[in-house]
Amino acid sequence: MPSRVPDGQNRGWIVPIGGAENKENDRRILERFVRVSGGEAADIVVIPTASRMHETGPRYEQLFGEIGAARVTVMDFDTRRDCQETGRLQRLEEASGIFFTGGNQLRLTTLLGGTPVARMIRTRNAHGVTVGGTSAGASILSEHMIASGDEGSAMVGGGVRLAPGLGLTNRFIIDQHFRQRDRLGRLLTALAYNPFAVGIGLDEDTAAFIGPDETLEVEGSGGVTIVDGTEVTYSSIDKVSDGQAVSMLGLRLHILSAGATYNLNTHIAAAGTLVQAKE
């Protein structure tokens, strides 16, 4: 469950990224992550546990250093026992930003889920620390996580498999590489199981910067698909077998590009200050 925000304080930013964020000529997403993590004073811990590639952590350490973070530490976890080490917990407590890389979200949850590290990260976010992640590192941020599912736009019974995520919030469900991998159907099906949440589909090189006031702002070159199930009046998810079409009535859908916003409290979307494409 999400940690309680202390009286008089604000929750930290939550920053899910759809994967494949620009790391070369236009680092606007990673640059903004550093800004909301403290700017020149940013103290960032990179957790590359989802990835099997040894170069992933050092690559982000280099990137955040080049952008201007004051301190960057790579912290990998190979066993659940690692998640109990006092030194690692102390380092997380010092950080102003925590960043999960891409890879396999189930590897992250099976190693971190229910451990002191997971509890520490939830607590630090509730106390104002920025927590973000890209691709698999985005999927794990919420309480309900898409573990796997079918590609395509159709809603079908059994078309998605959910698992417990990190639990920073229960307000939304994330899916990533959204348009590139045709994942509308599995996000819709996930919402059929849990219409309380808001579905957030993130295109590649696109991030949702979710502030302490629960306002989401889009950053990056792609789009964010918002699927709002709070006004759903009917769902057939409880009646269908695996592979059968699902019916849902009352869904609301928004497509947002850079600068557009969506308020998770009021469920109001706005065009905002749209960022024009470069010449």
pLDDT tens, residue by residue, 2-33: 899 999 999 999 999 999 999 999 999 999 99
Say if residue 275's pLDDT is above 90. no
On the CB side of 12, CA atoms within 13 Å amount to 30
The torsion angles phi and psi of 134, rounded to 5 degrees, stand at: -115, 140
Q: What is the pLDDT of residue 278?
A: 45
The predicted-structure confidence for 35-72, as pLDDT tens digits, reads as follows 999 999 999 999 999 999 999 999 999 999 999 999 99
| Pairing of the two strands 130-134 and 97-100 | parallel
- Mind listing the domains of the chain with CATH numbers? 14-270 (3.40.50.880)
Q: What is the mean pLDDT of the chain?
A: 95
The percentage of residues in the chain with a pLDDT greater than 90, rounded to a whole number, is 95
β-bridge mates for residue 104, sequence order: none
Q: What is the mean pLDDT of residues 79-95?
A: 98
Is the pLDDT assigned to residue 84 strictly greater than 90?
Answer: yes
pLDDT tens readout for residues 212-269: 999 999 999 999 999 999 999 999 999 999 999 999 999 999 999 999 999 999 999 9
Give the model confidence (pLDDT) of 151-183 as tens digits. 999 999 999 999 999 999 999 999 999 999 999
Active site residues: 135, 177, 204
Q: How many CB atoms lie within 10 A of CB 80?
A: 14
